[in-house]
Amino acid sequence: MSRYEASEIEAKWQKAWEDAAIFQAETDHQKPKYYVLEMFPYPSGKLHMGHVRNYTMGDVIARYKLSTGHNVLHPMGFDAFGMPAENAAMASGGHPKDWTYSNIDTMVEQMKPLGLSLDWSRMFATCDPEYYGQQQSLFLDFLAKGLVYRKNAVVNWDPVDMTVLANEQVENGRGWRSGAVVERRELTQWFFKISDYSEDLLDALDGLENWPAKVRLMQENWIGKSRGLQFKFERTDGGAPVEVYTTRPDTLMGASFVGISPDHPIARQLEAESPEIASFVAECRKGGTTEEAIETAEKLGYDTGLRVKHPLDPNWELPVWIANFILMDYGTGAVFACPAHDQRDFEFASKYDLPIIPVLEPLDGAGELTEAYVPAKAEKVRYIKGFAGSEEQTGEEGVDAAVDKAEAEGWGEGVTKFRLRDWGLSRQRYWGCPIPVVHCDACGVVPEKKENLPIALPYDEDGTAIDFSVPGNPLDRHPSWRDCACPACGKPAQRETDTMDTFVDSSWYFARFTAPRAETPTDLEAASYWMNVDQYIGGVEHAILHLLYSRFFARAMHICGHLPESAKEPFDALFTQGMVTHAIYQSEGGNGRPVYHYPEEVDLRDGKAILKDTGQEVKIIPSAKMSKSKNNVVDPLHIISAFGADTARWFVLSDSPPERDVEWTASGAEAAFKHLARVYRLASEAATATGEGTGDEELRREMHKAIRDVTLGIESFGFNASIAKLYGFTNTLAKSKAGAATKKEAARVLAQLMSPMTPHLAEAMWEMLEGEGLVANAPWPQADEAMLVEASVTLPIQINGKRRAEITVAADLDKAEVEKLALAHEAVQRVLDGAAPKKVIVVPGRIVNVVA
RNA sequence: GCGGGCGUGAUGGAAUGGUAGACAUACCAGACUUAAAAUCUGUUGGGCCUUGUGCCCGUGUGGGUUCGAGUCCCACCGCCCGCACCA
């Protein structure tokens, strides 16, 4: 009997799979196709357990589908543009391109030992000119179809470094490098017209039955369809009226003031006229651009002195305030405030001593208003200052009545609005896909000619390396790249130096995988065959942006002829896996800042973490999200070299339900290894066993139950449940005294059931047990229904909902007989004490409850 | 602030509204061994006594619906994710 040598087994079978080329996907109309895709990684250069978990889940599905007769596409690539490469170049020199490609090599090297059933021949990185050139071609197609346009948008501006900052580069309202207070500044930028699809993207969510309900709900809220009233407040000074949009027109009689955004045209005008207002507005523009920053900032207001007339009472004048929490991007950039029924307005009115006028109250009467009264819209309330509909009605009815009345009287209009904004794709950065347009003094903005694509990023500055140590975009100051000839008139012109948001790169890679070397963005025939992605797997952090952008792109690509109509919703099923967490090892650096240590730099002894180099003890922060910046990223290579890939795969699947977070622990990995070694031993025992035994029938029954339960687990993404069942079945097999033939059969089935999770071990077992060919190609075992039927069943007996006894009865015994037997039970008799039960509930096959 | 989610033994977790704690980790005890490792077997939510197929309590907290609630509803507490230039 040989020992379980993971490294030997894994190298052997990886080579066998490669030689047989069984994971290379070719179009085959004889079989049903199955496209399984994990969200592709950013090439950080370090594979971590989160990746292993993600890809292992996809691999289980891919291998399972392969053995159920599907033609499987399971590709891998790299989301390779983005800021970390530029940051690395700034921090330690070098070039983003070199850094990225070297990381990709490293990561491929780290992924291959996992034994994933990937079609490596389709691999690409989004920073390959062959890929982003096709992306530029897509951009030009979108531009031609009116799906791209330019407008102004606000960015984070660092006034010291004179550069645009990403949100993550703004820390507590200050630039991460300069420490200067960030300002919001407007820039002309490129936008995708995703808002054209708001309604469609919302409606189509209903059809995504195999997406998690929470993701659909998040997208629904993000798109944020609302119906409200749009109307104008006339100004007492005769100036341009203030147009507002409100979702609660029923509270109009509670209006206290009119609020406008600091970026509202009226505010802009006043800013130019009054230094005091200019300084207030400048104050409002400090801080980052995130919605979070704006909404949590202290509420600031400034009374402009302008007055407007209430639309329902010309004698009622309301003040116009500039308020920092009103977004210019949403609605009209102006609102009327009803402090009695909006918490934010309430706080603002309290702070600036503005009136708070209740409009509605609960049906059972109102208490004193210490905060805004905001009942659910479906709740019936009493209107004490209503102006439309009944006195007692729901908020919804009130809104509808108010809109109807305003429309009938001609002073307002019912309007549907969406929260979803157009997608700004311009980035003032080097390491991204260049936007293929040219700015010409004579012709304006001119699209590049397709034959000039790809517009490739320059590697150096006429022979010398590009300098990344200066803030800002190197393309912007590049001596020669920027200058070009106008594609329209041929005169000297300048390239657009903005590059694309990296979300663009990831919004169509799934389509490119169907024909990764095509000379057009997609090959329609290949796309029609392979699309849609049957199962997409990734982190829930992508629930909104990436998935919504991809849904938009699929629609836009369809319009431009790059995807079939049927691929408008590109992901048939989505699974959002939980994160992998791990302790953070933290010490303090000389400057008082925290220093984070990699797990492999640390020895764990008696619950303490000791630095291997210095012997210094460091602080342990448990169960933190794995993050590059915190260095709490476990290196799977260490586990693979110690225990093998199968152990790593088994562990990441076993301990937590896939949708939840999992904490990586060293002891868990060791236990997984021990179990696999035990399975290997059992298989080799079974392979060499001889003779007859007892309990063959029972072992076979358990085998069929295992087939049923493991299969169900895989199909329902309950991999941890499948693994629990496999533990149980392994124990059964270990204890069984069955004859050699049955044991061998059971061990073979065990190998098959384990093959999606631990494919190398399964191949080794399959070979020992004389299975035919590769287990990866063997047809999935079928559970025999006849073997699953139980003759008798044990039912718990509850008395008043508490379990008191149990009876074992024939499985098909009818309800009346079960009730009779239950009532005759000694424990029931004791409690009833001769009295008749009030009620007896018999749930066949499950439980009996006697109500005494 | 807004949107979404999660909360069960020492630990990870299981449980179509139907026996709470499957399966595993850890710990403890035993077998094997000169010994250790490996392996195998067994115990383990808390409490009570009358030690029984016993009783009481127990799934973040407080209410509610139900014959029956970890599961459904309401409120609260805590943690996590997203918030449009991180990927």
Distance, angstroms, CA A393 to C1' B63?
28
Q: Which nucleotide is nearest to A803 (CA to C1')?
A: B19
From residue A41, alpha-carbon distances to A75, A106, A116, A270 in Å are 12, 13, 15, 49
Query: How many degrees, rounded to 5, is the angle at CA A804 between CA A843 and CA A839?
Result: 50
Q: Which amino acid is at A261?
A: S
Query: How many Cβ atoms from other residues are within 10 Å of residue A541's Cβ?
Result: 12
Distance, angstroms, CA A367 to C1' B76?
21
Token representation of residue A337: 């405030």
Asked if residue A627 lies in contact with residue A580, where contact means CB atoms within 8 angstroms, the answer is no
Mind listing the pLDDT tens digit for each residue in A85-121?
A: 999 998 888 899 999 999 999 999 999 999 999 999 9
Distance, angstroms, CA A757 to C1' B67?
44
Alpha-carbon distance of A462 to A459, in angstroms, equals 9
Alpha-carbon distance of A343 to A299, in angstroms, equals 12
Q: Which residue is nearest to nucleotide B15 (CA to C1')?
A: A721
At residue A607, the pLDDT reads 47
Distance, angstroms, CA A54 to C1' B15?
26
For chain A, helix (H) and strand (E) counts, in that order, are 26, 38
Q: Which residue is nearest to nucleotide B86 (CA to C1')?
A: A168
Distance, angstroms, CA A733 to C1' B22?
18
The per-residue b/e assignment along A761-795, b for 16 or more CB within 10 angstroms, e otherwise, is bbbbbbbbbebeebbbebebbebeeeeeeeeebeb
Mind listing the pLDDT tens digit for each residue in A365-396?
A: 666 777 788 887 777 888 988 888 888 888 88
* Cβ neighbourhood burial of A533 (10 Å; 0-12, 13-18, 19+): buried
Alpha-carbon distance of A199 to A220, in angstroms, equals 10
Residue A24 has φ and ψ, to the nearest 5°, of: -80, 125
Distance, angstroms, CA A731 to C1' B29?
22
Distance, angstroms, CA A672 to C1' B23?
13
Q: Which nucleotide is nearest to A581 (CA to C1')?
A: B80
Residue A575's closest CA among A213, A219, A62?
A213
The per-residue b/e assignment along A557-583, b for 16 or more CB within 10 angstroms, e otherwise, is bbebebbbeebbbbbbbbbbbbbbbbb
From residue A416, alpha-carbon distances to A224, A229, A261, A330 in Å are 10, 8, 21, 12
Alpha-carbon distance of A684 to A678, in angstroms, equals 10
Asked if residue A424 lies in contact with residue A405, where contact means CB atoms within 8 angstroms, the answer is no
Sign (positive or negative) of CA dihedral A299, A300, A303, A308: negative
Distance, angstroms, CA A847 to C1' B63?
28
Asked if residue A493 lies in contact with residue A439, where contact means CB atoms within 8 angstroms, the answer is yes
Residue A327's closest CA among A278, A282, A264, A280?
A264
At residue A606, the pLDDT reads 45
Query: How many degrees, rounded to 5, is the angle at CA A441 between CA A435 and CA A444?
Result: 50
* Cβ neighbourhood burial of A752 (10 Å; 0-12, 13-18, 19+): buried
Distance, angstroms, CA A90 to C1' B79?
36
Token representation of residue A34: 């199955």
Q: Which nucleotide is nearest to A671 (CA to C1')?
A: B25
Q: Which nucleotide is nearest to A424 (CA to C1')?
A: B84
Query: How would DSSP label each residue in A685-747?
Result: HHHH--S--S-HHHHHHHHHHHHHHHHHHHHTT-HHHHHHHHHHHHHHHHH----HHHHHHHH
Radius of gyration of chain A (CA): 33
Q: Which nucleotide is nearest to A851 (CA to C1')?
A: B67
Distance, angstroms, CA A577 to C1' B60?
24
Sign (positive or negative) of CA dihedral A389, A394, A395, A397: negative
Would you report the helix, strand and coil content of chain A in percent, each value rounded to 5? 40, 25, 35
- SS3 state at A365: coil
Q: Which nucleotide is nearest to A432 (CA to C1')?
A: B85
Task: Give first-to-last CA distance, chain A, whole Å.
Answer: 61
Please enumerate in sequence order all residues whose Cβ is within 8 A of that of A572, keeping only pairs 6 or more positions apart, or say none.
A210, A532, A533, A534, A535
At residue A193, the pLDDT reads 97
Alpha-carbon distance of A158 to A79, in angstroms, equals 27
Q: Which nucleotide is nearest to A421 (CA to C1')?
A: B84
Q: Which nucleotide is nearest to A78 (CA to C1')?
A: B87
What element of type H or E holds A132?
helix A129-144
Token representation of residue A476: 């912007």
Q: Which nucleotide is nearest to A830 (CA to C1')?
A: B54
Alpha-carbon distance of A107 to A101, in angstroms, equals 10
Please enumerate in sequence order all residues whose Cβ is within 8 A of that of A646, keeping only pairs 6 or more positions apart, or say none.
A6, A10, A115, A676, A757, A758, A759, A760, A761
Alpha-carbon distance of A757 to A727, in angstroms, equals 13
Q: Which nucleotide is nearest to A840 (CA to C1')?
A: B67
Distance, angstroms, CA A667 to C1' B68?
40
Which of chain B's bases lie under 7 Å from a protein CB? 1-6, 12-16, 18-20, 22-26, 38-41, 53, 55-56, 67-69, 80-87
Alpha-carbon distance of A496 to A473, in angstroms, equals 12
Token representation of residue A158: 């660092």
Dihedral of the alpha carbons of A494, A499, A504, A505, in degrees to the nearest 10: 110
Q: Which residue is nearest to nucleotide B54 (CA to C1')?
A: A804
CB hemisphere CA count around A73 (13 angstroms): 27
Alpha-carbon distance of A337 to A43, in angstroms, equals 48
Distance, angstroms, CA A545 to C1' B82?
9
At residue A130, the pLDDT reads 97
Asked if residue A400 lies in contact with residue A380, where contact means CB atoms within 8 angstroms, the answer is no
CB hemisphere CA count around A120 (13 angstroms): 13
Alpha-carbon distance of A395 to A386, in angstroms, equals 11
- SS3 state at A161: coil
φ/ψ bin of A132: left (φ > 0), alpha (ψ from -120 to 50), beta (otherwise): alpha
Q: Specify the pairing of strand A580-588 against strand A574-577.
A: unpaired
Q: Which nucleotide is nearest to A81 (CA to C1')?
A: B87
The angle, 0 to 180 degrees and rounded to 10, between the axes of the packed helices A719-735 and A645-654 is 110
**Reported pTM:** 0.92
Query: How would DSSP label each residue in A754-804?
Result: HTTTSHHHHHHHHHHTT-SS-TTTSPPP---HHHH--SEEEEEEEETTEEE
* Cβ neighbourhood burial of A370 (10 Å; 0-12, 13-18, 19+): exposed
Residue A401's closest CA among A416, A387, A380?
A387
Mind listing the pLDDT tens digit for each residue in A182-207?
A: 999 999 999 999 999 999 999 999 99
E-strand ranges in A84-225 read: 148-158, 163-165, 170-171, 174-175, 183-192
| Helix/strand/coil (H/E/C) assignment for every residue in A297-328 | CCCCEEEEEEEEEECCEEEEEEEEEEECCCCC
Distance, angstroms, CA A578 to C1' B60?
21
Distance, angstroms, CA A733 to C1' B60?
41
Ranges of chain A whose pLDDT falls below 70 = 1-2, 365-367, 581-612, 615-634
Q: Which residue is nearest to nucleotide B5 (CA to C1')?
A: A214
Alpha-carbon distance of A403 to A483, in angstroms, equals 55
Alpha-carbon distance of A368 to A358, in angstroms, equals 10
